[in-house]
Every structure is written in C-alpha cells, then in structure tokens.
Structure 1
Amino acid sequence: MAVYFSIFLVVLTSVCGVIWLYDRYVLLPQRKLKLATAQAQCEGELSEDVKEKILAIPVFIDTPVQIFPVIAFVLILRSFLYEPFQIPSGSMMPTLLDGDFILVNKFNYGLRDPVARNKFVEVGLPERGDVVVFKYPIDTKVDYIKRVIGLPGDRIIYRNKSLYIKSACTEAKTECNEFKQVETTFVSNGDYSDGNVELTRYTSAMPNKTHDILVNNQILPRTAHYYKQSGSQRDEFVVPEGHYFVMGDNRDNSLDGRFWGFVPEENLVGEAVFIWMSFDFERDDSSFLPRWVPTGVRFERLGSIH
C-alpha cells in the first residue's frame, strides 16, 4: 500500500504542478490582459464584481492550483524527511506495541526518490541496535520493522536464546574480533504474555544501544526453520556486504532475519525514532463496537524510540 500511495502522491503532485505552472505563466497573463483591455474600453473604473468575473479561475484549474503547495509539502516531507507508520503486530514488544503510531526518519540513511527508491544523496548507514523500517525482502510491497543486530561482515550466533556477535574485520584492525555474548539482565515476569504464556523481560546490552527484549522460556528456538546459509551452522549467520541482519525484540514471536535471511541496503526505508500516538484496543467480544475502534490512549508511551 505504501508503494501505491507514493506513486499516487507523485502523480498527483506532478499533475497539479503542471496545472499550477500553466495557470501562472499562461492563463494568469491572459486574464490580466483581458482585464486591462476591458478597463481600456470603459470610461470609468470597473466594479469589483466585474473584475472578479474577468479574473475568475475555472474550478478544474483553481482546485489543483490551490492544493498543489499542500501536496508538494506532503510529498517532500513524506519522501525525504519523516513518514508515519502504524505498528500492526507484537513482534517488537516491549519496545513497540500493536497500536503504536511512529515516525520514521528517512533522512538518516540517505535520500531516495519516492518511486524507484534509487539513492541520490549519501547521508549515513544503520548502526547496530537501530530500529529500522524496511521493505520485506520476500515481498517488497510489505513494510517490516525490526532491530539491526548485524552489520555487513558481522557473524551472528543465536544459540540457546543467547546472542553472540563477532564484528566484521577491517583493514584497519591488526586482529579480528572474537565472538562476544550480548549480556542480558532479568527485569520481570508477567508484564507481557503470548496467549496464556507469560514472557520474561530482559535488558539487552547491545554494543551501541541498550534495550529490552521478551523471551518465551517455555519453547525452544525454532532452529530447524532458520535460514540456511552455505558454510555456516543453522544458528549462525554471516552478514553479506551491503546487507543487514535484523531481529524482533519479541524474540520468540518474530518472523525476522533468522528465518528469511538478510535485508539489502536498498530495502531500507528509515529509522524509527518517535512514537507520536499510541492506542489501546482491548475490547472483548461482548462489545458492540468493532475491534479497530480504540478503547483508550496510552499517553505514557509517547516519546523517542530506544
């Protein structure tokens, strides 16, 4: 849907822009000339009503002219600066909840055209720990949101619900790094659940960012379903150049890079940076209202995303 809306917005802005230019540089001078001719043929000053009729713009011209500045602003804002998204699932709990409305910074990772998504300005690249929105590699019409775990060249192991990272070797390093376990600290039980199963909350100390994750200790990792990469073990992932490895913070309820592989750099949409609205949808079956109608606003969730 986001792709189709971008195309629609570009087409609408282009059409309105052409009409705006045509009116400004062709039709408007013609109307002014018509007014001047009428004034020259009249001995007295033309009334305001007559002037308004002569300068009147047809509705099919006036409407695009009036809305062009607005939709042009929306196009620039949405394409190059910030775009709103809604969180549709619980794969990023506890960082993001179903019903959160977020802003995605599209400038941080470079400027792209809104249709073909070709990058024309280099700005920066994701850092380990960033929460990113990207085009799902299996179906690029779908937007996903996950956390960056591995950068190009990194080796990642997710074993026994523990995360190990070996950062990429570079020419500037005399020795390659070894695998380091990402330390987790117990926070609480029972704050979140998956059906009737209580989830355990931990604080994960990533190399760049500290954030909370959820783990279902009653199920084993689905290693048999992990993405199979040639030359590595099932629970080990070597991030190719120009790609990123991502995971959901809700570790046992997230369809992420463990199962389908890596995110190409060109699929990145931007960094999730702010929750600007958050709704509750806790409505039971006895309610006459549909489930998509909010039951409340979670004001305490508004703010920056970590």
Structure 2
Amino acid sequence: MTDKTDKTDKTDMTNKEVQQNQQTTANQTTDSTDSNLANFTGMPSLETLWQEQRTKGSDGFYSMYITAAKTAQTIIQNNLDLLMQQAGSLNVAVAEFVEADTAVDQLKERWGFLQKTLEEVANTTRIVKTTLGAYADAAVSVQKLEAGGFTEQYILHRKEELGMQNGDLTKLLVEFSRYAQTLLDALISESKTADLIKKQGNAGDANHKVQMALYQSWLQHAFEVNKILEGRLVFISGLLESLKKDLTTLQVSKMEQDVQERARQVAARRYKAKVEDVTDYDDLEGQYRNRYDEDGNLIGVDEGGTGGNRRGWQVVIVMAAIVLAVIAYFVLKR
C-alpha cells in the first residue's frame, strides 16, 4: 500500500514538473513583453505647423506633417506586434490544457472572444495606417502644387484643410491606442489566469461572466473608433481626388509650356536660317552657312566661295591675262 502511494506521489510530482516546465516556456514571452504600449502624442496642430513654417519655411510645414504621419504608422504597427506577441504566449498556455475542466472551458471561451477582438484590432490597424499614408500623400501633393506655381491663396487653403484634420486624427489615434492597450491588459491577465489554473488545478473562475461582459462592451469602443476612422477616410478620399485633378492640370500646363518653348526654339532657328539665306554665301569665300531640317534642327554646314565673289575675281584675273597677252603680242610684233 505504501509502495503504491509512493508511486502515485512520484507520478504527481512528475506531472507537476512537466507542467511547470511547459508554463516556464510559455511565460518566457509573457515576461519579456512590456505591459504598456507606446503612447502617441498626436498629430501637430495647425498652429504648430504654422510656427514650423515661420521657422523653416514652407518645406518645414510639409516635413513636420509627413514625419508625424509616418511616426504614427510606426507606433501603431509596433503596438500590434506587441499584441500579437502576447496573444501567441496565451495561445501556447491555453493549448496545453487537454482535459475538460470548468475553469479551462471558461478560459478558452474568453480566449476565443479575445482572438476575434485581436483580429478586429489588426484589421483596424491596417486601415489606420492606410489613412495616415493617404494624409501624408496629400501633403506631398500640395507641396508639388506649390512648387509648380499654384497661387498662394490656393496653397494656404490646402494647408489649412490638412492642419484642421489633425484634431480628429489625434482623437482617432489616441482612442485606438487606448483600445489596443485594454486588449493587451486582458491578454496579460488571461495569461496569469492560465498560470493560476495550472498551479491550483480545477479552480473555477467566479469572474467569468463579469469578464465576458467587459470584453463584449469593447465592441462599443471599437464602433466609436471605426466611426471616427470612417469620417477621416471620407474626407481624405475627396481631398486626394481633388488634388489628383490639380496635379493633372499642373502636368498639362507644364507640357503646354514645354511645347510652346519648343515651338519658340524652332521658330527662332527657322528665322535664323532665313536671315542667313539672304546673304549669298556663294559670293563670300571663307564663310559658312548652316542647313536646317523642317523642324529647325541643324543637319549640316555649307562652305561659301563656290561662285559669285570668287567667280568675279576669276573673271578679273582672266581678263587681265588676256590684256597682257595682247600687249605682249603688239610689242613683240614691232
């Protein structure tokens, strides 16, 4: 009887050691995970952007705006990565429970709901990053339009449009960060619950219903975030479409200017060719005349002196030789 008891105790100790080793492995990620997500201070206000412009010029306005948008993208992506890391740790802990148990079943139910919430957060993160990228693209477009010579009043209006959106963008990002932080806290808490169940065995969770009600209340929080996000998407979509048309106008205008400049150069070359044609280069030995095609491109050079002036001198020389020959004839005849 004593031997059987000893064997049972040894078996229980072995099982506990295995569970402890498994939990230690699962908790390595949990222990290394920061319990706080990175805080986002918000997009710069319009006044802050104007101050930056007064200090560093118009490019300073755009640089601050674009940098803030990209920084926000990085922060929310890092926060999502942290959530995924903690969720992975909890998933390992939950998967280790094999036997049916009330506490385990309740934990798995809550974990299933948190998984769906995490999927929603991941999807929202992608949309928020896309939205921030769109606002940064809008700032780049306005900068191009300013460089392209659009009126000062137009550029001022576009900058005000971008800056005035920052309040709602900041509200969106802050609310979303809080939502993500709440989820992270829940994941960490459930990881601790899993650890407690493993240590205490069949221990029911009296707060299961309360926790489920709390998790479900987050759906309203998610709805508020999506509502703000939808408004920002509607605005930026319209703004980008308008800026796209303006950029097209700028490109067409630039093409027209290039065509006009090309036509001016062609006309100038043709005029030069006509002026050169007025002079009889055949009569001007040692002079050169450029030849152009129909588009005014230089295609060759003609050397002068093939006639006219050169032929005139040839006639004079021949006539002089004849006169000298006649004189010599009469002199010799005498």
Q: Do they superpose with TM above 0.5?
A: no
TM category (shorter chain) comes to: under 0.3
Q: Compare the two structures and name the one with the higher helix fraction.
A: 2
Give the TM-score taking structure 2 as reference length.
Answer: 0.25
TM-score scaled by length of structure 1: 0.27
User: Greater strand percent: which structure?
Assistant: 1
Larger radius of gyration: 2
